[in-house]
Each structure stands twice: as C-alpha cells, then as structure tokens.
Amino acid sequence: MPPADPDAGASWIVLLRAHGLGTRAESTQATLRDALQKHVRESLATAEVRPVEYRLFPRSTGLGVLVDPGVQPARLLRDFTRSLDDHLQEHNATFRRTHHLALCMGLHLGMVFPATDYVASRAVDDLTRLMEATPAGPADRPSALLVVLSHDFHDLVVRAECTGIRLGDYMGLDVPAGPEGRFVRSWVAVIADGRAGHPPWVPEAPAAEPDATAARTGAAEPPTEPVGQPVPGISGPLIHPDFLLGDGGQGTVYGVVREVPGLSGPLAYKEYRAGVLRDPEVLQDMVRFLGDLAQRETRDHTFLETRLAWPLRLGHRRGRANGILMQQVPADYTMRLAPLDVSKQRTLEFLFNPDEYLKRIGLSADNGQRLLLLKDLAGILTTLHGHGITVGDLSPKNILFRLDVWPRCFLIDCDSMRFKGRDALPQAETVGWEVPELRKATPESDAYKLGLVALRLFNRSQEDKDDGPLRSVSTELADLAMRSQSVEPGHRPTPSAWQAALQRAIEGGKSDSSWIDVDPV
C-alpha cells in the first residue's frame, strides 16, 4: 500500500464551471481559461487569501481551487465572490460578443488528496454532481455568476450569520445529486452588482397554509385516517421555523418549543419530506419498544436511552403521521469548530483525520480513547442486535462521540434502523461504507461496518483499510477487523466478540496492582 499523502486533509473547495466552455473553439477556450485563472487569482487577493493558502487545479469545465481550512470561509463567500463578480462584469463589458464568460461556482468543505496534476476527492465529486443537478437558468441568457452551496457549507457559513452574508439570499433546492439519484439539498443564489439573490428562473415555493408552519398535536381538523396516535396533551404549535436545527435529505429537524407531558430535556422534532415515510406503524412500534423496555429490562433501557436519538413520539399533521419527537443531541456531543467559531456535532468522521488536522480544530484523541469509543460502539450494537434491531447505515456521519469524562458514542438517525425486520424509511448506505453483499441492514452488515470503523479510526483516514496502525495496538483487534471485511457475512465476528477483545486491549497497559502510594509531596 502506498504511503499516506502528507498533504491529505480537509479543505475549502471552490469549483468554477464556465458555461458552454467545451463547445467553443480551442483558441477561445484557451483564452477564457487564462482569463478565468487571472480573475480568480485577483479575486482571492482581494479577499486577502494568500497564494500559500490556496492551490488552483485545472478542470475540463473550468477551474478548481483548494483553500486552506484556516481561511475564514466568509471571505470566500462574501469578498471573493463579490470581487469575482466585478471582474466578470468588466470582462463581459469588454468581450461581450466573442468571449463572454458566465460561471457557476460551487462551495463545499471536505477531504482532499492532492497529487501533482490530479485531485482525488469524493467531496469534489459530490460538489460536481450538486452543481450539475442545480438549475443554471436559460441556456441563451446564463447568469454571469451563479453560486451553489453544499448543505454543509451553508450550515457552517451562511447560518453562522457572518457580517455581509444574509440567510434569506440563498434559496434551498432539493436536487437529484445523491447516490442513485437521491435528492439532496443545495443552496443557490445569483450574484448581481455584488448582491446575492434568488435565481429568477426558479419559482418561489408557494406560501404555506397557516397549519403548515408548525407540526400540531390534538389537531383541530379531524384525522383523515387513524394512523398511530398523536402526541398528547399539547394545545398549540410544537415547532416553529425560527428554531431550525438541521435540514437533510429525509426531512427537517426543529427544536421543540413546548413541553411534552411524560418527556424531559430539550426535544427535537424531525418532520419528513413528502414520500419519505414508508411505514408509520414501524415508528409507532419503535416508540412503544423503549417504553416497554423500561418496564422489562431496566439496564438495557438506561444504556440505550443515553446512546440513541430514539423516536419518543409519533407526530401528526392533519391526522397523518409526518414526523417523530426525539431528544436533542446532548451538548457533550457538540463542539465549537475552529476557525469558524460555530457549534457542530462531534461526528466520528472528525477522528478519521491526521492528528495535525485535529490539533488545528481543537481536538485530540489518543489510542486509549479510541479503544474506549470503539468498545462503547460495540456495546451499543450488541444491545441493539439482542433486541432484533440493526443499524444499517452505520457510518461516521451517524455516530457522535464525546471524550471528556468517559468516551462514549451517540447514534442519530435511529428512525432509519431496521426494527425487527421492518423499515419505517427506505434503507440507504453512505458512500464508501457499502457492504459487498446484496442484503443490507443485517447484523452481518453492521459487523462489517464496525470493523471498517476500527480500521479507519486507527488509520486516522477516511478511506484506508490498512490494518497496520490497529495491529500496532492489538494483534487480536487487527485480526477481528480483517475478518470483519470478509465477503462471506457468516465469517464476520459479532460486536460482542469485539467487546471482549477491546476490554483486553484496554487493560493491557494497566498495572495489576490493586493499590498505589499516595505519599504527600
């Protein structure tokens, strides 16, 4: 296996696609490429991004830019974009007929692996698909500068309310840019005279009916069909658009604005997009499961309640099930992300990066803490499997972690788990975390992904499967990890087998003595 690229790491990604570039004469293409590179360099200088902080790389459709993650992203979205718009206006006023330049610019944050003449990055590929799937306007009258933001970039930068960047300037669109054409959210604006605004060719969403701004319980309108039970005891709106916590492919998550009888702590409500919810009765059974578990097996209930964002109530709008209540992600599983100074969930994918990168964003996790996290995750899976529940989409995006007192994991998107052989939502797999067999969301597929988590957690890599770093910690764990990657599902070790081996690895460096000297200094 080739050595890891020392330059691999997170980066701000800027992609520029020139409208109709490939259809023009080769001499015109060369002139436009030179002009584009000149405009980009000058605009980066205006945004006070130094040459040592970025790298340009050619693309068949235009130009790409990798920017050091230490650069304030507001400078890219605000100052760089405005300057680039000025250069485009000046360019097109001079070369209106023969060398008109119209650009679509995409912005994202992701891992990149730069080589001499090529940039390998799934994040670049994801942003490319997002830009291609986002409507670019009339072919005969393209906008001079169309900006497309990934949902992550929008969440980190636009929602951070940076000076000069307005939340309302960017229109959210669901476009078929995910794996197998699944819809994902992009955020779009047209830049004109230095100001961002909604694309005029995209129709505005129709005004919501009064009831549509908040999920209600005890609805005034009679139910059209008796699906499940409404959340009881609340007379007013449960959610409000101003308390948005997250927005993804399956739905939108809001902070709950009222107390819910029988539930404590900060709550969240996940409202599904149309057509996402496949079987509301499965969600109702999941709600009952946790309540029944509290009566039957107190120990398992206490453990899972602190490790899962589990469905606690089924919510309705106009008599139809349309979402779930769950606890909000505990504060212990969030962090202030430098250099943005915004709160982010501590997803496990942060630890799949070199220690140098973690240090830059204010994180550190030694091998001992990684072993404890892995043991906790194995315990969660063992307990879930014991109750006929499989995770399915087990990936670092759905696993949160804490390191402060005792390293622990917290699983989100629990409504997509397979509950006793039934699915409330369509099963999906994160790109790069697919199992080799056709059957998904089985105990064996969870075992495969647990081994993959172990390998990448100790490789400090998003993609590597080399067992060397894990083997240097424990030969037994490395052997388990390699067996977990078997194409024969039945040959993979269970999470409970991992628990015992992890405990041995954790205790390996501890003293056998039952006492220590505590003489005063």
| pLDDT of amino acid 17 | 92
Residues 6+ apart with CB under 8 A from 420: 285, 388, 389
The pLDDT value recorded for residue 444 is 96
What would the DSSP string read from start to end of 291-308?
HHHHHH-HHHHHHHHTTB
* Alpha carbon distance 305, 291 (integer Å): 10
* Whole-angstrom distance, CA of residue 398 vs CA of residue 414: 9
- Which pTM does this prediction carry? 0.58
pLDDT in tens, 486-518: 999 999 999 999 999 999 999 874 434 344 445
pLDDT at 468: 93
Half-sphere exposure of 19 (CA within 13 A, CB side): 19
Write out the DSSP string of 441-495.
Answer: SSHHHHHHHHHHHHHHHHHT-SS----HHHHTT-HHHHHHHHHHT-SSGGGSPPH
Query: Read out DSSP for 385-452?
Result: HHTTEE-SS--TTSEEEE-SSS-EEEE--GGGSEETTB-SS-----TT---SSS--SSHHHHHHHHHH
**Is the separation of the CB atoms in 115 and 82 below 8 Å?**
no
Give the rounded distance of the alpha carbon of 59 from its chain centre: 26
pLDDT at position 138, please?
A: 66
Among the listed residues 26, 35, 136, the one whose alpha carbon sits nearest the alpha carbon of residue 92: 35
Give the right CATH number for 334-507 from 3.40.50.880, 3.90.700.10, 1.10.510.10, 3.90.1640.10: 1.10.510.10
| pLDDT tens readout for residues 270-325 | 999 888 898 999 999 999 999 899 888 989 999 999 999 999 999 887 778 889 99
pLDDT at position 120: 65
198, two tokens: 């909604």
The two structure tokens encoding residue 423: 């699915």
Give the Å distances, CA to CA, from 198 to 137, 189, 246. 12, 5, 21
* Identical fold between 9-197 and 334-507: no
Q: Pairing relation of β-strands 171-176 and 183-192? A: antiparallel
pLDDT of residue 474: 94
Q: What is the length of the chain?
A: 521
Q: Kind and range of the H or E element at 27?
A: helix 26-46
The pLDDT value recorded for residue 518 is: 52
Contact call for residues 298 and 356 (beta carbons, < 8 A): no
Residue spans of the chain under pLDDT 50? 1-6, 205-235, 509-517, 521
pLDDT of residue 228: 33
Q: Is-contact 321 313, C-beta < 8 A?
A: no
For domain 9-197, give the CATH superfamily.
Nucleotide cyclase, GGDEF domain (3.30.70.1230)
- Token reading at 292: 């029944």
pLDDT, position 516: 47
Surface-to-core class of residue 198, CB atoms within 10 Å of its CB (0-12 exposed, 13-18 middle, 19+ buried):
middle
Cα–Cα distance, 472 to 477 (Å, whole number):
10
Compute CA 261 distance to the chain's CA centroid, rounded to the nearest angstrom. 32
Distance, first Cα to last Cα, the chain: 51
**How many degrees, rounded to 5, is the angle at CA 184 between CA 181 and CA 190?**
115
CA 504, 509, 513, 518 dihedral sign is negative
CA distance 250 to 256: 18
Is 477 within 8 Å of 505 (Cβ atoms)? yes
Q: What is the pLDDT of residue 309?
A: 94
- Structural element, H or E, at residue 173: strand 171-176
Give the Cα separation of 144 and 100 in Å (integer): 9
| pLDDT value, residue 203 | 59
Q: Rounded CA gap, 470 and 409, in Å?
A: 20
Domains of the chain, by residue range, sit at 9-197, 214-327, 334-507
- Find out whether 352 and 395 touch, Cβ atoms under 8 Å: no
